[in-house]
Structure 1
Amino acid sequence: MSSQADINKLFWHSRRGMLELDVLLVPFLKEAYSDLPDEDKQRYERLLECEDTDMFQWFMQKSVPEDPDLARIVKIILDRVQPKYD
């Protein structure tokens, strides 16, 4: 997906109505999505097809997606918002 119409569609699918998800997904889409490799963009699009309750569990780190592709995009999003300490 690369056209403005496609990005707009992703934006609306990224708005979940659950604040905890919205504050992760919307900024990620606006600020990081365009820099992702195509494979990770596809993973993000698949992530948006998941249930909010599942995503909430993943982003609150109470569970991990069984699908390795979904686990990868969840980790990418979490790594972006969590400070890294050495």
Structure 2
Amino acid sequence: MFSTQRFNRLKWACRRGMLELDVLFMPFVEQAFDQLSEEQKVTFERLLTCDDPDLYAWFMGHQACEDKELAEMVSIILNRVKV
């Protein structure tokens, strides 16, 4: 279970150095995070520890993420944005 403090740290981590990532992460964490399973929440938290250039490449489709769990989370976020 994510405590309020842990969730607030997660929201802060969603603020990136790239606007392209901010517009993906901020709405996702505010609108869809609560609907994720506990395992997916941990995976999302881990995703936010990745470097911005890697995240940008994965989300823009320039490079495939080799980590299966992270690749699935990228897909979940992108599908959420398309809705």
TM-score w.r.t. length of structure 1: 0.91
Q: Whose RCO is larger (CA < 8 A, sep 6+)?
A: 2
Q: Distance in 1 between matches of 2:17 and 2:56?
A: 12
Amino acid at match of 1:70: L
Amino acid at match of 2:82: Q
Amino acid at match of 2:74: V
| 2:54 corresponds to | 54
Amino acid at match of 1:67: D
Q: Distance in 2 between matches of 1:28 and 1:47?
A: 13
Q: Distance in 1 between matches of 2:65 and 2:46?
A: 12
| 1:63 corresponds to | 63
Secondary structure at the counterpart of residue 50 of structure 2:
coil
Q: Distance in 1 between matches of 2:65 and 2:35?
A: 23
Consecutive unaligned residues in structure 2, runs of 5 or more: none
Secondary structure at the counterpart of residue 9 of structure 1:
helix
Runs (4+) of structure 1 exceeding 6 A deviation are: none
Secondary structure at the counterpart of residue 11 of structure 1:
helix
The count of residues paired between Structure 1 and Structure 2 equals 83
Consecutive unaligned residues in structure 1, runs of 5 or more: none
1:17 shift after superposition: 2.3
| 1:15 corresponds to | 15
1:18 shift after superposition: 0.8
Note the alpha carbon deviations across 1:29-52, whole angstroms, 9 max, x for none.
Answer: 000011100111111011001000
